[in-house]
Amino acid sequence: MAKEYVISDFLKRIKRPIELENEVEYKLVTIKMNHNGVVLRELKKGCEIKSNMYLVKSGDFILSGIDARNGAFGIIPNNLNDAIVTNDFWYFEIDENIILKELFLELTATSWFDEICKRGSDGTTQRIRLQKDKFFNQTVWLPEKKEQEKILDKIKLFKQNLEEFRCENETQSHLLSRLRQSILQEAIQGKLTAEWREQNPNTEPAAELLKRIKADASASSAAGNKGKIKKEKPLPPITENEIPFELPEGWVWCYGSDILKPMETKRPSGRTFGYIDIASIDNKNHKLIEPRYIPVEEAPSRASRKIDEGSTLFSLVRPYLGNIAYVDEAYSDCIASTGFYVCTPFNGIYPKYLYYLMVSGYVIQGLNGFMKGVNSPSINTEDIINFKFPLPPLSEQQAIVSKVETLLGKCSQLQAEIENLNAHTKDLLKALFNETFENKTE
């Protein structure tokens, strides 16, 4: 059975004044908003502190008189025992004859106590703070002690189950990440399309495709592009001892320079232009997000990378972070920072195959091995040009993309379900409080 109380019945504000010594160093406390805990703000000698100060002990429940309405309250941790605070911080003794301290602390992490603090605050826009009378005179309904013990046991069990659930979801997310990489690795090794090759035995070998790409590139250069694009020095043939893994029959190893067009620079035109830098990449999903549109007069002093639809942007800086993205039609009029290598495939290379190749662990981890520098380790454009890539026939590239996108789509569905379940864990805890506590206050 519930009984009506006012806050002052079970929360007693206490003060422990302290006489500061000039040469003693003291720990000053601050409280983060939105239930983010009590932390050390700074260390100061007594002679540097002009305000009246008060001692706090580990285990004290404390709140900020200024920001309590924003969730600025918590428990003094052990490492801040005997720290000091100003009079703007309130700390309390809790009368456990009325409410169990452990239950009360659980309740302070919910909207129940947030609302109490909001109703107990007042003042002008810039000076809203907790008001003693408004705060302490609020009424609440509390169940009797035996019922509180049952509620607390239920909360503990529920939170334990939620933590186990959260850990399981983290494990599943990690396994999904590994599954995605496994899919990509099997794709570039030809394992996903083994059945497709059996059904398409007369496919033109990739070696013939590569000859045609080289011939087309040579003809294009001879037609007048020499002044625009630097012709790279031919690389030596890839020997059997150099290949990272075996490829299916009909595939071939090649260099980046064999399948990627040399990069071109582009100066922006018009009044504004779309500029893509690291901030324009969602590296978790390897996607482009909104580019920065900036005035042409703010164009970088150095020339920027020209990007075309079907290119893949690959960050030269910290490639292990995965700042890689496919360029679709929406971004083909933008230019990219010189921090990117713009991987634009020759005709005969299916653009989406190139993209999945570049986001595979084989490429990212392989290129990481060429990083130089300490503060911002990076690779050079030559590292990509000289890197060894597996090349399947063109029709098989398309089959690989179709298979990969089907499998990754299923992974995305599973990930969405996991994230949806995670989002509901907080709602479940709130629902528990509504059922076991807040309804009893009515």
- Widest Cα–Cα separation across the chain: 92
Nearest to 430 by CA among 106, 43, 55: 106
Phi, psi angle pair for 73, to nearest 5°:
-155, 160
Q: What is the mean pLDDT of the chain?
A: 87
Q: What is the DSSP letter of 204?
A: P
- DSSP label of 345: B
Average pLDDT over residues 88-108: 89
Cα dist from 309 to 3, 333, 334, 363, 441, whole Å: 69, 9, 10, 22, 61
User: Does the structure show a pLDDT above 90 at 247?
Assistant: yes
Q: Does residue 266 or residue 207 have the better pLDDT?
A: 207
**C-alpha–C-alpha distance, residues 333 and 345, integer Å:** 17
343 φ, ψ to 5°?
Answer: -85, 95
CA pair distance 159, 10, nearest whole angstrom: 25
Q: Looking at residues 244-249, what average pLDDT do you find?
A: 94
Per-residue confidence (pLDDT) for residue 227, from 0 to 100: 46
Among the residue ranges 157-161, 257-261, 385-389, the one predicted with the least confidence is: 157-161
pTM, full prediction: 0.66
Return the pLDDT at 439.
46
In this predicted model, what pLDDT tens digit does every residue of 405-414 receive, in sequence order?
999 999 888 8
Q: How would you label 248-265 residue by residue, b for 16+ Cβ within 10 Å and e otherwise? A: eebbbbbbbbbbbbbbee
pLDDT over threshold 50, residue 440: no
- Say how many Å lie between the first and final Cα of the chain, rounded: 11
Per residue in 293-337, pLDDT tens?
A: 888 877 776 668 888 899 999 999 999 999 999 999 888 778 888
Mean pLDDT for 289-295 is: 83
pLDDT (tens digit, 9 = 90+) per residue, 367-405? Answer: 999 999 888 899 999 999 999 999 999 999 999 999 999
pLDDT surpasses 50 at 360: yes
User: For residues 44 and 57, what is the distance between their CA atoms, to the nearest angstrom?
Assistant: 18
pLDDT value of position 428: 67
Q: For the chain, what percent of residues have pLDDT higher than 70?
A: 91
Confidence band of 224 (pLDDT split at 50, 70, 90): low
pLDDT given for residue 426 in this prediction: 62
Query: Looking at 38-52, 160-174, 313-327, 379-393, which range is the least confident one?
Result: 160-174
